[in-house]
């Protein structure tokens, strides 16, 4: 029996053919597949604009730059997330603050967020980074109304949730990352996520100004768009004028301008081709994940040792992760490993990471997140997990508790 990981990519012959085709073409990077991927992704998520980038962390970094995170700016997020959510703020010199999680959904507790904001001077915080943890969509309609009261921006970390949605107060489906409530949203295409491109990421937004900034920042802050050039044509050409009539001068073909300090955070064309191909199966993948989750739910629902994930009625969960809460967590984790089943823990609370100690957080200060961490375990969930494999996982877990 092959080892069973907690998550893995699904690569088909169609994916391989799409990549090979690009490898044989003229463009390995900065070619036509990028815009094609962006357009297809924006269509899937239901947003106006999408910007493909090198990875999810780069996406977060660019979002912070585009929205204007500056040294000293304070940003709020959940302690139960991957460190990239918080690191990206620090890259810009900003500071991170945490709000404890809701014990049911494991997402940032919006009641506690409101309390924290009400008890702080207006202007203390600049923005919020909500995380659709495990694939559970944040109620961004409510978060937006809170954010508006305090003039905060929202960058949604939707890495876990492409295809997930919540039903808003008007009965409309609001897909994660669709830009209706958040200013910006980000996704990752790491192989354990829903869509795999090796490394890769995407930013989505409905805001045209932010979109334009992101395009610049993704590629060194360089533009080749003559309509945006700031230097005069004379400066661009030098003193060797093309025609004596300065009205007829145009910028030379080689000319570009660096107008901001950006980065090389581009995705390659063969990755974009893989992304386009993967995207065509994304919806089916989320359905598969839900089917697998349901089978786990049914197996464990009456088991006193195991708490299954909560899913509210107005939620379509994207199930990047299937997180259970258990007693004797380390024992179960080790026992499953001995049986070639590799579970994982998501996440070690960020405020307990040694690097983040400088912020002054101590154990006990975010008790719900810490207690969650002591008992959480992510079981294998991915579209190619077979029925036989899943039954083996379930039986091995049940065996552990009766042994
Ligand atoms: C994967 C992930 C990231 C970072 O994405 P990379 O592509 O690995 O850089 C950020 N936030 C969350 C919640 C993630 O799961």
Nearest-atom number in ligand 1 for the CA of 190 is: 7
- In whole angstroms, what is the distance from residue 32 CA to residue 377 CA? 41
**Tokens 């009400």 sit at which residue?**
118
Counting every residue written for the chain, the total comes to 403
DSSP annotation of 308 = P
Determine the distance separating the centroid of ligand 1 and the alpha carbon of 199, expressed in angstroms: 10
Overall pTM surpassing 0.75 (yes/no): yes
Binding site membership of 292 for ligand 1 (Cβ less than 6 Å): no
- pLDDT, tens digit (0-9, with 9 covering 90-100), for 145-170: 999 999 999 999 999 999 999 999 99
Q: How many CB atoms lie within 10 A of CB 156?
A: 29
- pLDDT value of residue 349: 97
Binding site membership of 218 for ligand 1 (Cβ less than 6 Å): no
Domains of the chain: 13-221+262-279 (3.40.640.10), 222-258 (no CATH), 282-402 (3.90.1150.10)
Tokens of 148: 């508006």
Q: Name the 3-class secondary structure at 246.
A: helix
Smallest CA separation from ligand 1 atom 3, residue? 56
DSSP annotation of 58 = H
- pLDDT, tens digit (0-9, with 9 covering 90-100), for 169-218: 999 999 999 999 999 999 999 999 999 999 999 999 999 999 999 999 99
Q: Which residues pair with 316 in a beta bridge?
A: 165
Catalogue the E-assigned strands of 91-191. 95-98, 127-129, 153-157, 165-167, 173-175, 184-188
Please give the share of the chain, as a percent, with pLDDT higher than 70.
98
306: left (phi over 0), alpha (psi -120 to 50) or beta: beta
- pLDDT value of residue 87: 98
237 pLDDT band (50/70/90 cuts)?
Answer: confident
- In whole angstroms, what is the distance from residue 277 CA to residue 12 CA? 9
Q: How many CB atoms lie within 10 A of CB 244?
A: 6
Whole-number Cα distances in Å, 227 to 214, 234, 305: 17, 15, 64
Determine the distance separating the centroid of ligand 1 and the alpha carbon of 224, expressed in angstroms: 31
- In whole angstroms, what is the distance from residue 111 CA to residue 221 CA? 39
Determine the distance separating the centroid of ligand 1 and the alpha carbon of 255, expressed in angstroms: 36
Determine the distance separating the centroid of ligand 1 and the alpha carbon of 302, expressed in angstroms: 33
If 0-12 CB within 10 Å is exposed, 13-18 middle and 19+ buried, where does residue 44 land? buried
Binding site membership of 82 for ligand 1 (Cβ less than 6 Å): yes
> Which helix (H) or strand (E) segment is 324 a member of?
strand 322-326
Smallest CA separation from ligand 1 atom 1, residue? 188
246 pLDDT band (50/70/90 cuts)?
Answer: low
Tokens of 136: 């559970």
- pLDDT value of residue 1: 78
Residues 6+ apart with CB under 8 A from 304: none
As a whole number, mean pLDDT of residues 390-403 equals 96
Residues 6+ apart with CB under 8 A from 57: 84, 87, 88, 188, 201
Binding site membership of 81 for ligand 1 (Cβ less than 6 Å): yes
For residues 125-138, b (16+ Cβ closer than 10 Å) or e, as one string? bbbbbbbbbbbbbb
> Which helix (H) or strand (E) segment is 264 a member of?
none
């Amino acid at each position: 029996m092959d080892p069973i990981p907690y998550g893995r990519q699904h690569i088909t012959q169609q994916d391989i053919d799409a990549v090979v085709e690009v490898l044989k073409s003229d463009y390995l990077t900065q070619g036509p597949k990028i815009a094609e991927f962006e357009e297809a992704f924006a269509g899937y998520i239901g947003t106006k604009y999408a910007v493909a980038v090198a990875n999810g962390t780069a996406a977060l970094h660019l979002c912070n730059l585009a929205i204007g995170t500056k040294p000293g700016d304070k940003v709020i997020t959940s302690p139960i997330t991957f460190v990239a959510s918080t690191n990206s703020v620090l890259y810009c010199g900003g500071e991170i603050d945490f709000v404890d999680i809701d014990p049911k959904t494991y997402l940032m507790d919006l009641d506690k967020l409101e309390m924290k904001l009400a008890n702080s001077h207006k202007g203390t915080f600049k923005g919020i980074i909500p995380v659709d943890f495990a694939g559970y969509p944040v109620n961004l309609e409510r978060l937006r109304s809170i954010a508006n009261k305090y003039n905060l921006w929202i960058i949604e970390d939707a890495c876990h949730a492409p295809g997930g949605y919540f039903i808003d107060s008007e009965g409309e489906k609001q897909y994660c990352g669709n830009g209706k409530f958040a200013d910006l949203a980000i996704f990752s295409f790491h192989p354990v996520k829903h869509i795999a491109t090796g490394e890769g990421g995407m930013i989505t937004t409905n805001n045209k100004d932010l979109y334009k900034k992101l395009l610049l920042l993704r590629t060194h802050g360089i533009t080749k768009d003559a309509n945006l050039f700031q230097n005069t044509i004379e400066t661009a050409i030098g003193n060797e004028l093309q025609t004596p009539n300065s009205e007829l001068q145009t910028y030379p073909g080689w000319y570009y301008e660096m107008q901001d300090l950006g980065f090389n955070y581009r995705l390659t064309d063969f990755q974009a081709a893989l992304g386009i191909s993967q995207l065509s199966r994304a919806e089916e993948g989320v359905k598969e994940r839900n089917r697998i989750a349901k089978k786990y739910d049914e197996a464990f629902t009456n088991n006193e040792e195991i708490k299954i994930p909560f899913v509210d009625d107005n939620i379509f969960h994207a199930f990047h992760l299937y997180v259970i809460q258990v007693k004797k967590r380390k024992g179960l984790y080790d026992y499953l490993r001995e049986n070639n089943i590799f579970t994982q823990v998501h996440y070690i609370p960020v405020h307990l990471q040694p690097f983040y100690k400088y912020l002054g957080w101590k154990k006990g200060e975010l008790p719900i997140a810490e207690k969650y961490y002591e008992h959480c375990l992510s079981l294998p969930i991915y579209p190619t997990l077979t029925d036989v494999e899943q039954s083996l996982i379930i039986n091995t877990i049940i065996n552990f508790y009766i042994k």
